[in-house]
Structure 1
Amino acid sequence: MSTVDTRPLSRRNLVATLATGYLPIVLSILVVILPLAYLVLSSFKTPADVVTQKLVILPDPWHPQNYSTAAGVVPFGRLFLNSAIVTVIGAGLKVLLAVVTAYALVFVRFPGKRFVFWAVLATLMVPPQVSVVPNFTFISSLGGQDTYWGIILPGLGSGFGTFLLRQAFLTLPADVLEAAETDGAGHWRRLWRMVVPMAAPSIATVALVNIVFEWNDYLWPLVIVSDPHMMTLPVGLTLLQNSESAAASYGIVMAGTVMVLLPVLVVFAALQRYIVTGLTQGAVKG
């Protein structure tokens, strides 16, 4: 009778580990890394190396002038400032509203609380493209075209942030908050002195998601902004592509794309350790 080899370093266990563990991870990483690597390498290529029937991986010769050309054609300084203002204010207000709303849904007693939460969940089911035309009509009637508040205002309702923070707040120790309430601490003090510090990983996760979304948002700024000096960086790439011929613009547009991606990648690298903790903090209770 044959016996199954159960040693940790047996050939069977090693093959199973590689096939079900490491191989899917490596494939997932390649799916993400390869396009980014090709983007960065192509930003240093000449048009002849980009528009060719042969796959040219490494630039030959290297052409860093694409970056200076991109910075000269489009006012990246102004576009960077616009994106920074929209991202900081928009993401900050989204996080603030999500924290306050989630706290109310968990710790404040008021009639119809469950229906309010269902309404928040319903917003997650609606594609943002559906609201573009109504938002454009409303913001335009208020004079919000080509303004910062016109870009920021329609996206302030963060259903995802409210949902994630509500789930995280439900896992907080109730006895600590009850003791604080017994000692006379009001909602405002309990929120900022106790709830926010204990749920910091989840709040950091919501902040990171909103920062990435605001920085990379393309559709709404494209619709509401027509003045080139009020455009954000993703929309500015459209100006960059339109300013050059189709064949010559690829390397320059990719150089501009790298400059757009670099700040948000730095922020993501700085906050990525909070993601797993933040997303799993509210996974215990529903």
Structure 2
Amino acid sequence: MTTSELRRKLIVFTCFVVTAITLVPVVMMVLVAFQSDAESMAAKPSFWPSSWHPENLTRAFELVPLGKYLLNTIYFAAGTTLLETATAALAAYAFARLNFPGRSWLFGIYLATLMIPSQVTLIPQFVLVAKLQGIDTWPGMILPHAFTAIGVFLLRQFFLGIPRDYEEAARLDGANRWQAFVRVIVPLAVPAIATLAVFKFIGQWNNLLWPLVISNSDATRTASVGLQVFQDTNGTQWNLLLMAATVTTVPLIVLFFLTQRWFIRGITMSGLGGR
């Protein structure tokens, strides 16, 4: 066995071990979700259920409007993802292709906002949304997350890798700047855009802090906030709580398997793979 083959097998084995360790809490969550009330509340818990209780799924939906929370989460995650992707693509194209005074300085300042924790800007955002009467409304939840510096950075790096000859050929054929962007740049950047969209959708799906602050009713509560409401109103019924958590996790798993081809390709082509 050569050194390269041994290294490859060690890497594969390490990845397998890390994956297995990562999946342990997920498997435990699913197993406890199908336990009885007494078994999940036992002083000495046994994670493997002695008897399976699929009716816990129906009970979880009866205790809180979990279906409404899931629909709200889809609406919130999809809305913020579409806006973030669109604004990031436009800003990244400007930083990658347009020449204007102070471009590098402006881009550096824009990236510097990544060093500011989101908790620091939470109160100013809340005050601004409150003054605009956006509390417990969809515009108030979605619009503050319509811009992202990391998305601009990712797409800018990808746009810089696209040869200018493609765009110049379109300009020679009579296309203006906007037409060249929509018909040439965007189709070539689909892997990177899809990667950004998946990242943002997952991030907003799991977003707890902003929806918790801005939403006051079931009309706008997302699944992450709904799980907190579930625990507050029903106590520590671990089997039902983890059943609700399992239900809110399934859409993300399905999304990843549907988009993993674009996801992996976008990472390798955009520079996030560590190259």
- TM exceeding 0.5: yes
Q: Amino acid of the residue matched to residue 251 of structure 2?
A: P
Which of 13, 16, 19 in structure 2 is aligned with 1:23? 13
Matched, 1:230 2:251: no
Which of 238, 250, 258 in structure 2 is aligned with 1:250? 238
Identity %: 33
Which of 141, 144, 160 in structure 1 is aligned with 2:150? 160
Q: Amino acid of the residue matched to residue 55 of structure 2?
A: Q
Which of 119, 122, 141 in structure 1 is aligned with 2:109? 119
Computed over aligned residues only, the root mean square deviation of the Cα atoms, in angstroms, reads 2.0
* Structure 2 runs not aligned, ≥5 long: none
Contact 2:83 2:147 survives alignment (8 Å)? no
Q: CA deviation at 1:52?
A: 3.5
Q: 1:79 to 1:111 in 2, by over 3 A?
A: same
Q: CA deviation at 1:120?
A: 2.2
Q: CA deviation at 1:79?
A: 1.5
Structure number with bigger Rg:
1
Matched, 1:282 2:270: yes
Q: 1:192 to 1:251 in 2, by over 3 A?
A: same
Distance in 2 (CA, whole Å) between partners of 1:16 and 1:189 is 48
Give the structure-2-normalised TM-score: 0.93
Give the structure 1 partner of residue 166 of structure 2: 176
Q: Deviations over 1:203-239 (max 9, x none)?
A: 0000101111111111000001111332111101111
Q: Which runs of 4+ in 1 moved over 6 A?
A: 12-15
Q: CA deviation at 1:55?
A: 5.0
Which of 99, 102, 105 in structure 1 is aligned with 2:95? 105
Q: Deviations over 1:73-96 (max 9, x none)?
A: 111222122112111211101100
Q: Deviations over 1:229-277 (max 9, x none)?
A: 321111011111112232xx11111011011111121111111122222
Give the structure-1-normalised TM-score: 0.89
Mean Cα displacement is larger for which, 160-169 or 223-232? 223-232
Contact 1:44 1:66 survives alignment (8 Å)? yes
Q: Deviations over 1:35-77 (max 9, x none)?
A: 1111111110123333345452321111222211110011122
Contact 2:230 2:241 survives alignment (8 Å)? yes
2:56 counterpart SS class: helix
Q: Deviations over 1:110-158 (max 9, x none)?
A: 2111122112211222211111111111111111111011111111111
